[in-house]
């Protein structure tokens, strides 16, 4: 189907099913129960899951295929957001032109940065790409927001004000980002018994965009172009010796992944019309690196899993406070309850960074291929349980 | 503004098993049952405390959260009742808000606009919070205030000092209890004139972002009006950790006052560096060299340690303030947590009580009703003395404290001493003051 | 002229910290070929060794003094450090006063052990793994270390003042008839850094151990074939690198009060320094550290910021880009190191 082989088609269908049914899957616990804390099926987080999924899928096209580790992709996400918000400010709240422009701007920006950075490889490339978002962040936070030439609105973040021109804004259109009149924020809540599920327009827009980008990335992975990029990863020198100039290929990969980042940035702004400079900090770039590697670099679905994993932590674990802990352990005798709260306390709420750090280390140490690797191991283990004589050792091949 | 929001959509209920009338709140849409966002339907009402749990202001958060928890306790009639005893409005009875028990959720802003909005959204979308309170920077406060306006909940801004919060970025659903850069300048200027004289030459180091500029502008205007000369204003990057290369030029600039428009870690480091370079022992133009830090906080004072001795600044509140509300609050807070409250703690405590009181007086949690009850509300007994929430811009007006690093502190908590309580009249400005111009309050948004 | 010299001094001072961290990073690259993102955290832990020692020395017993009241009106609890009660207020006070320099004695064993533990327990398993994995695991470790410190010490900066004798300013210009005052502790820091850098180079240059390590850096396999256990020596070098970062941190405390985040603040910068200096080149790292420190200082002057607004925020990165584009392997890098 769609020019994919059977395995990839299955994968695509699985991803499609997961994203379309996400409102159900992410809200497995009844609203009033203690476990509701772990529900992630509210619009904002679902949107973040897929948007950062797109970001990571794009990053994976560069890093997973060519092995070039860029720390600069946050800059593309950032300029994408700024471009989109400028469309909102000057012309219209319609997200279509905004997202389009954010992709274009990010493409131009990544072409420029890629052209400069790809003259070097290895860690030199990484540091070059690190320099650009850091400069962009510093400038966007201060210099580019001076009253004379306010491009970014600095610390506060670029947002839409009531006195902005919004040339094509008409009476009757939502006063928030919308797609031809369909507000990104409309949510339909379905209640079944004690459960409640949110269906949000913005989420479904993002989800559909993500499916398209996922499909494209599968096609890129399977194309001759993808093969070429993999060849660059395995031995660039040999490629050069055969008389082939690899730079156009790597630059193309760089720009494509930059466009994915811009798209993610545009979508972020479309879901919530505010663009902040922090989006361009190197830590934001680092986040997408973590997502990709955590999920499984070079695999198709890994980056999406990684993105979900990190965003889940950031949003769910940071909200668990002592009160919640006491609720959980309230069934225990007083002393033990306090003890349990004492034990768990450092790892949740304000300690969520600690838990995340520990999990990173555990995943990297024990699952070299990321979460996908973990999944494969479990799969293999389940399959091999029946046939005990099959003594496959635990050697894992790095996931592609 | 004539734009209208047509996001109204009815909630279609599915499934006969759906608990009748138990409409779980949805954000940004009307449900047939709810008249406004997150209308509490059960016996509980949820408040959202959005504070920086990670990042450089994490300790500030800790204090804010302690105060918010204390406020919730007092609202629910636990503990000693705290400022409910001294508050001039007697609407609160210690039985929750409008008879509903108060619960709360917490979230991490990371002192980043994006993260703060994500966290606030999850409180509104998932936990059904009717009010968001907290924050430790103006960027975050403005970002979250905008979100709350769109979502239709009340935002009680925590620590935010930029003029913009109730200036060009003011919003009908947002209220600020903290003072602002203009007020700092207006309160400081007369004291500086009295203590340092009217012919000083000032050198400004300013954090290079919106808040820094706003404060520098305010201070420069106020000090120039009384005859000071501004020698130079140097912008320093937010990410700076070592300020030596900004401090060194001050030595030969002929300035005799250094004004540090910095906050948090920036301020701790720039002040430490300035002291290192022997600034406080210098004599320039036959005058003792002085340092001014327009915005102080207890935690910054603690971080800067000995270095703050003799350094002037302003504060929103200090626990040494001598009034009934303050004494009561310090007693409740101190007995529970073993330390006096910081000014950010007091801000969040007062805001939580004020919100609850406004709900009681309005008889509803509807943001429009609450906002109306808060607008133009005058009260006393929450620690700051007589206070007014101005209707024009939702800025709170009250006395401002001018403080100084104590020369001989006796313990870890009296490192700052109150020099003067500047009366509210001196710091009041017209709502259309140029520094606050632009932007519009808009109309309150109940979200449904 | 004065301000020019002052900025040079400031640059050297900033450069000292950059150079020390970059030196340690390069030692680890050069020997083990590992990209250590936890190096900033080691610097931070060094600084917290000073904080810890200061806390230990100030451990106090409490006496209630009924003549004074605390903020709640209860009798004031007066704290007297044990050290003062044992050695009398003068000697005891002096010991507390000198906490930061004394912390060097604490930091060396702590940092070496921490470094060895890190290498044996974690890094060892990552030699054969891709650099991306090394970065990720050490970054995770950095977060964990930083959060542990935050859990115990809070997020607020903690003052670790220099001893009274070494705080204040000295007039450096007196000799040449100029008025050039500069903080004494910053001069101490620079000299200390120079000493450590010199020490590390001397160790590598003039000891047998150092010779073997240098040989191993040049050609690990051959040295291994000669029957020398190069891994063990490299592990020790990791400990040395950790100690260098830690000492840089200990002495940095009085310049800017340590907080749990300071390592991350330095991490990116020190990587830029290492790359500008040239991957795997020790002199390059030191040189680049000082050059970037000085450039950063000059970029912060009013003259520079009015000519090109915002130059002070981007100078380091701008220089990195220019250097990398004109000299592919940094100032003193070798061919083939970390280019794949």
Is it the case that residue A391 has pLDDT exceeding 80?
Answer: no
For domain B182-315+418-426, is the CATH number 3.40.50.2300? Answer: yes
Q: What is the mean pLDDT of residues B40-51?
A: 90
Tell me which chains share at least 3 CB pairs under 8 Å with chain A.
B, C
* More confidently predicted of B163 and C3: B163
**A154: closest CA of chain C, how far (Å):** 13
Q: What is the pLDDT of residues A353-363, one digit of tens each?
A: 888 889 888 88
Q: How many structural domains comprise chain A?
A: 1
Is it the case that residue B183 has pLDDT exceeding 60?
Answer: yes
User: Does residue A131 lie within any of the structural domains?
Assistant: yes
Q: Where is average pLDDT lowest: A158-162, B31-35, B135-139, B166-170?
A: B31-35
Is it the case that residue A144 has pLDDT exceeding 90?
Answer: no
Q: Is B299 on the interface with C (CB under 8 A)?
A: yes
The residues, any chain, with a CB within 8 Å of residue A189's CB and separated by 6 or more, are A196, A197, A198, A199, B11, B24, B26, B29, B31
Instruction: List, in sequence order, the alpha helices (H) in chain C.
Output: 2-32, 39-57, 82-97, 99-121, 131-153, 184-206, 208-218, 220-225, 230-252, 262-277, 282-299, 302-307, 311-326
Range of the domain at A219: 6-281
Band (pLDDT 50/70/90 cuts) for residue C339 is low
The per-residue pLDDT for A214 is 94
Residues of C in contact with A369 (CB under 8 A): none
* Structure-block tokens of residue A76: 């593309």
Closest partner CB to A356 (pick from C141, C143, C340)? C143
User: Does residue A182 lie within any of the structural domains?
Assistant: yes
Q: What is the mean pLDDT of residues A120-139?
A: 87
Under 8 Å between Cβ of B154 and B372: no
Under 8 Å between Cβ of A289 and A152: no
Closest partner CB to A155 (pick from B5, B11, B211)? B211
**C227: closest CA of chain A, how far (Å):** 30
The average confidence (pLDDT) of chain B is 86
The per-residue pLDDT for B33 is 54
Q: Is C288 on the interface with A (CB under 8 A)?
A: no
Instruction: Specify which residues B155 forms β-bridges with.
Output: B132, B174
Is it the case that residue A204 has pLDDT exceeding 80?
Answer: yes
Q: What is the mean pLDDT of residues A248-269?
A: 95
The per-residue pLDDT for A387 is 64
Band (pLDDT 50/70/90 cuts) for residue B22 is very low
* More confidently predicted of B437 and B223: B223
The per-residue pLDDT for B186 is 94
Comparing CA positions, the residue from A214, A143, A303 lying closest to residue B235 is A143
Instruction: Specify which residues C182 forms β-bridges with.
Output: C170
How far out from the chain centre does Cα B41 lie?
30
The per-residue pLDDT for B415 is 87
Residue bearing tokens 């009181």 = B357
CB contact under 8 A, A63 and C132: yes
Distances in Å between the Cα of B32 and the Cα atoms of A191, B8, B23 are 14, 10, 9
Which A positions 334-353 lie with beta carbon below 8 A of chain B?
349-350, 352-353
Is it the case that residue C125 has pLDDT exceeding 50?
Answer: yes
Residue bearing tokens 């480091």 = B269
Identify from A343, A353, A365 which residue to disrupt to test chain C contact, counting C C-beta atoms within 10 A and taking the largest count.
Answer: A365
Q: Is C129 on the interface with A (CB under 8 A)?
A: yes
The per-residue pLDDT for B3 is 40
Identify from A74, A134, A149 which residue to disrupt to test chain C contact, counting C C-beta atoms within 10 A and taking the largest count.
Answer: A134
Same fold across B44-179+320-393+431-436 and B182-315+418-426: yes
Residue C68: how many CB atoms within 10 A of its CB? Answer: 12
Is it the case that residue A154 has pLDDT exceeding 90?
Answer: no
- Residue B343 CA to residue B320 CA, distance in Å, equals 11
Geometric angle at alpha carbon A260, from A255 and A263, rounded to 5°: 125
Q: What is the pLDDT of residues B274-318, one digit of tens each?
A: 999 988 888 888 889 999 999 988 888 888 888 898 899 999 999
Closest partner CB to B276 (pick from C68, C183, C305)? C183
Task: Determine the residue of chain C that is closest to A144 in CA distance.
Answer: C310
The per-residue pLDDT for A215 is 94
Q: What is the mean pLDDT of residues B314-336?
A: 91
Q: Where is average pLDDT lowest: A76-85, B242-251, C82-91?
A: C82-91
The per-residue pLDDT for B292 is 94
Residue bearing tokens 């191993």 = C216
Distances in Å between the Cα of A278 and the Cα atoms of A147, A284, A309, B62, B140 are 20, 8, 21, 23, 11
Instruction: List, in sequence order, the alpha helices (H) in B158-314.
Output: 181-196, 210-225, 244-251, 264-276, 298-304
- Residue A248 CA to residue A122 CA, distance in Å, equals 17
CB contact under 8 A, A353 and C147: yes
Band (pLDDT 50/70/90 cuts) for residue C92 is confident
* Structure-block tokens of residue A21: 């049914």
* More confidently predicted of B41 and A288: A288
Q: Is A127 on the interface with C (CB under 8 A)?
A: yes
The residues, any chain, with a CB within 8 Å of residue C243's CB and separated by 6 or more, are C107, C108, C111, C112, C115
Query: Cβ-count burial of A194 within 10 angstroms (0-12 exposed, 13-18 middle, 19+ buried)?
Result: middle
User: Does residue C331 lie within any of the structural domains?
Assistant: no
- Residue A78 CA to residue A262 CA, distance in Å, equals 7
Task: Determine the residue of chain B that is closest to A319 in CA distance.
Answer: B107
| pLDDT more than 90, % of chain C | 41
Band (pLDDT 50/70/90 cuts) for residue C336 is low
Task: Determine the residue of chain C that is closest to B280 in CA distance.
Answer: C168
Element (H, E) at B368: helix B367-374
Q: What is the mean pLDDT of residues C146-168?
A: 89
Geometric angle at alpha carbon A49, from A227 and A205, rounded to 5°: 90
How far out from the chain centre does Cα C93 lie?
27
| pLDDT more than 90, % of chain B | 52
Residue C98 φ/ψ, nearest 5 degrees: -95, 25
The per-residue pLDDT for A281 is 86
Comparing CA positions, the residue from A133, A143, A126 lying closest to residue A280 is A133
Identify from B15, B50, B61, B122 which residue to disrupt to test chain A contact, counting A C-beta atoms within 10 A and taking the largest count.
Answer: B122
Q: Is B271 on the interface with C (CB under 8 A)?
A: no
Band (pLDDT 50/70/90 cuts) for residue A400 is very low
> How many alpha carbons fall within 13 Å on the CB side of residue A10?
2
**C146: closest CA of chain B, how far (Å):** 11
Geometric angle at alpha carbon B139, from B138 and B144, rounded to 5°: 95
User: Does residue C337 lie within any of the structural domains?
Assistant: no
Is it the case that residue C175 has pLDDT exceeding 90?
Answer: no
Q: What is the mean pLDDT of residues B163-169?
A: 90
Instruction: List, in sequence order, the alpha helices (H) in chain A.
Output: 6-20, 22-25, 43-66, 73-90, 95-117, 122-141, 201-222, 224-234, 236-241, 247-271, 282-295, 302-316, 322-328, 334-344, 352-366, 370-386
Is it the case that residue C179 has pLDDT exceeding 80?
Answer: no
User: Does residue A329 lie within any of the structural domains?
Assistant: no
Is it the case that residue A314 has pLDDT exceeding 70?
Answer: yes
Q: What is the pLDDT of residues B91-111, one digit of tens each?
A: 988 899 999 999 999 988 888
Residue bearing tokens 């096209």 = A61
User: Does residue A188 lie within any of the structural domains?
Assistant: yes
The average confidence (pLDDT) of chain A is 87
Task: Determine the residue of chain B that is closest to A46 in CA distance.
Answer: B122
CB contact under 8 A, C3 and B340: no
Is it the case that residue B9 has pLDDT exceeding 50?
Answer: no
The distance in angstroms from the start CA to the end CA of chain A is 23
Task: Determine the residue of chain A that is closest to C315 in CA distance.
Answer: A135
Q: What is the pLDDT of residues B227-255, one digit of tens each?
A: 999 999 998 988 888 899 999 889 888 89
Task: Determine the residue of chain C that is closest to A359 in CA distance.
Answer: C140
Q: How many structural domains comprise chain C?
A: 1
Q: What is the pLDDT of residues A7-31, one digit of tens each?
A: 899 999 999 999 999 999 888 888 8
Element (H, E) at B105: strand B101-108
> ipTM for the complex?
0.90
Q: Is A66 on the interface with C (CB under 8 A)?
A: no
Which A positions 63-122 lie with beta carbon below 8 A of chain B?
none
| Coil, strand or helix at C62 | strand
Q: What is the pLDDT of residues C25-62, one digit of tens each?
A: 998 888 888 888 899 999 999 999 999 999 898 888 88
Sheet holding B131-134, edge to edge: B101-108, B44-51, B131-134, B154-157, B174-176
Q: What is the pLDDT of residues C225-238, one digit of tens each?
A: 888 888 888 889 99
Residue A197 φ/ψ, nearest 5 degrees: -125, 135
Is it the case that residue C2 has pLDDT exceeding 80?
Answer: no
Is it the case that residue B323 has pLDDT exceeding 50?
Answer: yes
Is it the case that residue B320 has pLDDT exceeding 50?
Answer: yes
Band (pLDDT 50/70/90 cuts) for residue B388 is very high
Residue A211: how many CB atoms within 10 A of its CB? Answer: 17
The residues, any chain, with a CB within 8 Å of residue A38's CB and separated by 6 or more, are A29, A316
Indicate the pairing of strand B229-236 with strand B257-261: unpaired
Is it the case that residue A251 has pLDDT exceeding 50?
Answer: yes
CB contact under 8 A, B5 and A43: no
Is it the case that residue B13 has pLDDT exceeding 60?
Answer: no
Band (pLDDT 50/70/90 cuts) for residue B10 is very low
The per-residue pLDDT for B233 is 92
Element (H, E) at B332: helix B324-337
Residues of B in contact with C301 (CB under 8 A): 245, 249
**B220: closest CA of chain C, how far (Å):** 18
Residue A218: how many CB atoms within 10 A of its CB? Answer: 23
- Residue B268 CA to residue B300 CA, distance in Å, equals 6
Is it the case that residue C295 has pLDDT exceeding 90?
Answer: yes
The average confidence (pLDDT) of chain C is 87
Range of the domain at C254: 2-326
DSSP B37: T
Band (pLDDT 50/70/90 cuts) for residue C301 is confident
* More confidently predicted of C298 and C217: C298
The per-residue pLDDT for B12 is 32
Residues of A in contact with B26 (CB under 8 A): 187-189, 198
Most confident of A78-92, C66-80, C300-314: A78-92
Q: Where is average pLDDT lowest: A131-145, B176-190, C77-91, C99-113?
A: C77-91
The per-residue pLDDT for C338 is 58
Closest partner CB to C132 (pick from A69, A121, A132)? A69
Closest partner CB to C143 (pick from A130, A143, A353)? A353
Indicate the pairing of strand B312-315 with strand B290-295: parallel
| pLDDT more than 70, % of chain A | 96
CB contact under 8 A, B9 and A174: no
Could you write out the DSSP letters of every residue in B163-203? GGGGTTT--TTEEE-S--HHHHHHHHHHHHHHHH-S--EEE
Task: Determine the residue of chain C that is closest to B249 in CA distance.
Answer: C3
Is it the case that residue C205 has pLDDT exceeding 70?
Answer: yes
Task: Determine the residue of chain B that is closest to A317 in CA distance.
Answer: B107
Is it the case that residue C306 has pLDDT exceeding 70?
Answer: yes
Element (H, E) at C68: strand C60-69
Choosing among 1.10.645.10, 3.40.50.2300, 3.60.70.12, 3.40.50.300, the CATH entry for B44-179+320-393+431-436 is: 3.40.50.2300
- Residue C296 CA to residue A234 CA, distance in Å, equals 39
| Coil, strand or helix at A329 | helix
- Residue C166 CA to residue C309 CA, distance in Å, equals 37
User: Does residue A135 lie within any of the structural domains?
Assistant: yes
Under 8 Å between Cβ of B144 and B360: no
Q: Is B411 on the interface with C (CB under 8 A)?
A: yes
Q: What is the mean pLDDT of residues B207-217?
A: 89
Is it the case that residue B354 has pLDDT exceeding 80?
Answer: yes
């Amino acid at each position: 189907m769609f020019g994919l082989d059977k395995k990839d088609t299955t994968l695509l269908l699985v991803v499609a099913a997961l994203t379309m049914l996400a409102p159900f899957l992410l809200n497995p616990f009844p609203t009033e129960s203690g476990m509701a804390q772990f529900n992630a099926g509210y619009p904002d987080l679902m949107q973040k899951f897929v948007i950062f999924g797109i970001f990571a899928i794009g990053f994976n096209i560069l890093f997973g295929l060519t092995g070039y580790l860029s720390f600069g992709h946050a800059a593309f996400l950032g300029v994408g957001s700024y471009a989109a918000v400028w469309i909102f400010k000057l012309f219209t709240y319609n997200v279509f032109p905004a997202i389009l422009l954010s992709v274009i701007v990010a493409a131009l920006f990544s072409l420029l940065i890629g052209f400069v950075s790809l003259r070097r490889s290895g860690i030199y490339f990484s540091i070059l790409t690190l320099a650009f978002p850091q400069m962009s962040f510093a400038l966007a936070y201060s210099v580019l927001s001076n009253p004379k030439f306010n491009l970014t609105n600095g610390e506060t973040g670029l947002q839409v004000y009531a006195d902005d021109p919004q040339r094509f804004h008409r009476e009757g259109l939502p006063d928030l980002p919308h797609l031809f009149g369909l507000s990104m924020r409309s949510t339909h809540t379905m209640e079944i018994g004690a459960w409640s599920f949110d269906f949000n327009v913005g989420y479904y827009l993002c989800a559909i965009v993500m499916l398209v980008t996922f499909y494209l990335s599968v096609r890129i992975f399977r194309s001759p172009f993808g093969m070429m990029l993999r060849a660059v990863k395995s031995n660039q020198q040999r490629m050069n010796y055969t008389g082939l100039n690899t730079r156009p290929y790597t630059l193309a990969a760089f720009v494509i992944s930059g466009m994915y980042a811009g798209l993610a940035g545009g979508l972020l702004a479309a879901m919530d019309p505010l663009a902040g400079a922090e989006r361009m900090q190197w830590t934001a770039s680092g986040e997408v690196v973590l997502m990709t590697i955590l999920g499984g670099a070079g695999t198709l679905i890994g980056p999406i899993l990684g993105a979900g994993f990190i965003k889940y932590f950031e949003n769910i674990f940071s909200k668990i406070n002592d009160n919640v802990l006491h609720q959980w352990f309230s069934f225990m005798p007083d002393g033990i309850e306090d003890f349990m709260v004492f034990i768990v306390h450092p790892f949740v709420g304000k300690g969520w960074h600690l838990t995340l750090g520990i999990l990173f280390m555990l995943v990297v140490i024990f699952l070299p291929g990321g979460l996908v690797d973990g999944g494969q191991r479990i799969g293999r283990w389940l399959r091999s349980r029946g046939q005990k004589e099959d003594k496959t050792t635990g050697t894992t091949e790095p996931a592609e | 503004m004539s734009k209208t929001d047509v996001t109204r959509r009815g909630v279609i209920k599915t499934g006969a098993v759906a608990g009748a009338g138990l409409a779980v709140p949805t954000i940004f849409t009307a449900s047939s049952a709810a008249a406004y966002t997150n209308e509490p339907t059960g016996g509980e009402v949820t408040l959202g405390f959005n504070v920086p749990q990670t990042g450089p202001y994490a300790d500030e958060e800790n204090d804010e959260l302690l105060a918010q928890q204390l406020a919730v306790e007092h609202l629910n009639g636990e503990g000693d009742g705290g400022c409910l005893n001294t508050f001039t409005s007697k609407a609160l009875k210690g039985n929750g808000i409008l008879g509903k028990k108060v619960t709360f959720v917490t979230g991490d802003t990371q002192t980043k606009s994006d993260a703060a909005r994500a966290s606030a959204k999850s409180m509104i979308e998932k936990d059904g919070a009717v009010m968001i309170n907290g924050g430790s920077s103006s960027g975050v406060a403005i970002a979250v205030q905008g979100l709350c306006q769109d979502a239709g909940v009340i935002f009680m801004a925590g620590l935010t000092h930029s003029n913009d919060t109730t200036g060009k970025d003011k919003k009908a659903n947002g209220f600020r209890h903290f003072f602002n850069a203009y007020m700092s300048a207006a309160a400081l200027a007369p004291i500086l004139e009295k203590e340092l004289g009217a012919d000083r030459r000032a050198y400004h180091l300013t954090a290079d972002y919106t808040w820094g500029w706003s404060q520098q502008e305010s201070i420069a205007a106020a000090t120039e009006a009384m005859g000071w000369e501004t020698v130079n204003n140097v912008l320093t990057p937010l990410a700076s950790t070592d300020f030596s290369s900004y401090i060194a030029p001050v030595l030969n600039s002929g300035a005799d006052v250094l004004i540090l428009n910095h906050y948090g870690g920036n301020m701790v480091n720039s002040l430490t560096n300035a002291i290192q370079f022997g600034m406080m022992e210098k004599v320039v133009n036959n005058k003792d060299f002085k340092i001014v830090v327009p915005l102080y906080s207890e935690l910054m004072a603690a971080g800067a340690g000995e270095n703050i001795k003799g350094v002037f600044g302003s504060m929103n509140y200090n626990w040494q303030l001598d009034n009934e509300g303050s004494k009561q609050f310090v007693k409740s807070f101190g007995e529970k947590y073993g330390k006096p409250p910081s000014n950010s703690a007091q801000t969040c405590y007062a805001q939580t009580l004020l919100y609850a009181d406004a709900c009681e007086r309005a008889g509803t949690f509807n943001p429009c009703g609450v906002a109306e009850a808060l607008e133009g509300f005058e009260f006393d007994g929450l620690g700051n003395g007589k206070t007014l929430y101005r209707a024009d811009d939702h800025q709170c007006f009250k006395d401002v404290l001018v403080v100084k690093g104590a020369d001989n502190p006796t313990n870890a908590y009296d490192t700052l001493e109150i020099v003067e309580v500047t009366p509210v009249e001196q710091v009041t400005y017209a709502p259309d003051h140029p520094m606050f111009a632009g932007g519009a309050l808009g109309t309150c948004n109940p979200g449904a | 002229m004065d301000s020019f010299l002052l900025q040079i001094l400031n640059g050297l001072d900033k450069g000292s910290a950059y150079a020390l961290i970059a030196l340690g990073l390069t030692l680890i690259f050069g020997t083990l070929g590992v990209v250590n993102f936890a190096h900033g955290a080691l610097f931070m832990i060094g600084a917290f060794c000073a904080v810890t020692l200061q806390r230990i020395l100030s451990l106090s017993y409490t006496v209630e003094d009924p003549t004074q009241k605390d903020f709640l009106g209860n009798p004031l609890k007066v704290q007297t450090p044990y050290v003062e009660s044992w050695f009398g207020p003068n000697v005891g006070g002096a010991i507390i006063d000198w906490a930061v320099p004394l912390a060097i004695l604490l930091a060396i064993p702590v940092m070496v052990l921490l470094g060895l533990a890190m290498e044996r327990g974690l890094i060892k398993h990552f030699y054969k793994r891709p650099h991306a994995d090394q970065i990720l695991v050490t970054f995770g470790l950095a977060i964990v270390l930083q959060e542990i410190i935050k859990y115990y010490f809070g997020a607020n900066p903690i003052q670790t003042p220099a001893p009274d004798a070494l705080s204040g300013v000295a007039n450096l210009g007196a000799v040449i008839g100029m008025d050039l005052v500069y903080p004494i502790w910053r001069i101490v820091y620079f000299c200390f850094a120079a000493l450590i850098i010199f020490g590390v180079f001397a160790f590598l240059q003039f000891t047998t151990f150092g010779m073997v390590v240098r040989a191993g850096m040049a050609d690990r396999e051959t040295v291994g074939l000669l029957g020398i256990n190069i891994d063990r020596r490299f592990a020790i070098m990791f400990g040395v690198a950790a100690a260098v970062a830690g000492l840089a941190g200990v002495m940095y405390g009085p310049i800017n009060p340590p907080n749990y985040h300071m390592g991350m603040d330095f991490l990116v910068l020190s990587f830029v320094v290492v790359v500008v200096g040239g991957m795997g080149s020790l002199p390059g790292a030191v040189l680049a550290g000082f050059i970037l420190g000085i450039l950063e200082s000059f970029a912060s002057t009013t003259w520079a910021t009015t000519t090109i607004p915002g130059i002070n925020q981007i100078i380091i990165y701008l220089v990195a880009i220019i250097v990398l584009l004109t000299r592919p392997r940094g100032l003193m890098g070798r061919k083939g190191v970390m280019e794949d």
